[in-house]
Amino acid sequence: MAKRHIPLILFAAGLTTCLALDLTGGLDPYVAQIVIYIGINIILTVSLNLVNGYMGEFSVGHAGFMAVGAYAAAYASVNLLPHSAWFFPLALATGGICAGLLGLLVAIPAFRARDDYLAIITLALLMIVKSAFDNLPWFGGPQGFYGIEKYTNLSWVFVWTVLSVAAIRNIVYSRFGRAIIAIRDDEIAATLVSVDTRHTKILAFVTSSFFAGIAGGLFAHVIQFINPRTFSLVKSTDILLMLYLGGGGSLAGSIVGATIWTLAIEFLRFLGIWRFVVAPVALIVLMIYRPRGIMGGRELPWLVPRDYRKE
C-alpha cells in the first residue's frame, strides 16, 4: 500500500464514521450540531484565508457571500427542487455558484483598489446584500426565510469541509497560489515576472466566495431559518476573528482557529452574556503574545503536497 493512498483511506474512514453516526443517530444531537458548526466555520475561514491571508487583501464582506449562498440554496431547495435529500447537493451548488458570481463582481474593483479601499468596497457589498434580502419580495424580507428542511448532516459537512480545504490547498500549491502570495508581497513585481494579476484576483475571489456560499447553504439547512440579520457585519467579524486567531496564510491555522473559536463560544455558554467579553479578551491577550495567530503562518507538513515539502 503506497503512502499516497493514506489521505484517501482517512477520507473513506471519516466519511464512513459520519454516515454511521448520521444513520444511527449515535451522536448526541447537541454535540452533532457543534461538530457541524465547526465544519461550516472551517469552510468559511479557509475560504476567507485565500483572500485575506494568502493574498493579503482585507475583505470584510464574507458574511455577504455566505448570505447569498444561504438564501440561494434555501430558495432552490424549498421552491425549485423536489423536496428530497437527494437534491441537496444541487441546492448547495446553486448557493455556491450564486455566491461565486457575486465574488466575480467584487474582483473587478479589486483590480485597482487595495487595502482600506477594498475593505470599504466589501463592506458596501455586505450592506447591499443585507438590504437586498430585507427588501426583495421572494425571500421573506426582515421576517426571514422559513421552512427549510434539515438536510445538513455530519456526512455532508465532512465532505464539503474536506473538499474546500483540499481545493484551496491545491490552488495555494500551484502557480496560482504563488501568484496570490506574490500579489501580497509585491503586486507590481508580480506583474513584471509575468503573473496575470487580474486573472489571479478573479480566481481568488471567486473560489473564496464560492465556498462561503457553500458554507451558507449548509448553514441554512441546519438552522432551518435564516433572516438578513444573521449575516450582519458581526458574522463577518466572527469569520475574521477565527482567521486571525489561527493565523493567516496557513490552512492549519484556519482549521485550528475555527475549531477553537466555535468550541470556546460553546464551552463558555455558562458565563451567559459574559462570554462575549471573556472570549474577545482572551483573543486580545493571544494577539499580544502571538500577533501572527496560533500557527503564525506555518503549515502542518501533512497539509502540504508531497512535491512541495522541503527535504
How many residues interact with other proteins (rule CB under 8 A)?
A: 31
* 148 touches other proteins by CB under 8 A: no
- Which residue intervals of the chain are DSSP H helices? 6-24, 29-48, 62-75, 88-110, 115-135, 154-172, 175-185, 187-191, 197-223, 233-246, 251-267, 275-289
| Buried b or exposed e, range 75-105, using 16+ CB within 10 angstroms | bbbbeebeeeeeebeebbbbbbbbbbebbee
Q: Closest distance between other proteins and the C-beta of residue 173, in Å?
A: 8
Q: Which residues are CB-neighbours of 48 under 8 A, at least 6 positions away?
A: 59, 62, 208, 212, 239, 240, 243, 254
Q: Closest distance between other proteins and the C-beta of residue 247, in Å?
A: 13
Interface positions, 47-86, toward other proteins (CB under 8 A): none
* 108 touches other proteins by CB under 8 A: no
Residue closest to 206 by CA, chosen among 126, 121, 98, 113: 98
Closest to other proteins by CB, 169 or 235 = 169
* 305 touches other proteins by CB under 8 A: yes
Q: In Å, what is the CA distance from 101 to each residue of 65, 93, 201, 309? A: 10, 12, 14, 34
Identified binder of other proteins from the candidate list 44, 203, 226, 251, rule CB under 8 A: 203
Q: Closest distance between other proteins and the C-beta of residue 201, in Å?
A: 12
Closest to other proteins by CB, 203 or 240 = 203
Stretch that binds other proteins, among 14-22, 92-100, 195-203, 238-246 (CB under 8 A): 195-203
* 11 touches other proteins by CB under 8 A: no
| Distance between CA atoms of residues 146 and 88, nearest Å | 17
Identified binder of other proteins from the candidate list 167, 223, 294, 304, rule CB under 8 A: 167
Amino acid (1-letter code) at residue 199: H
* 112 touches other proteins by CB under 8 A: no
Binding site for other proteins (CB under 8 A): 167, 170-171, 174-176, 178-179, 181-182, 184-186, 188-198, 203, 207, 249, 297, 305, 307, 310
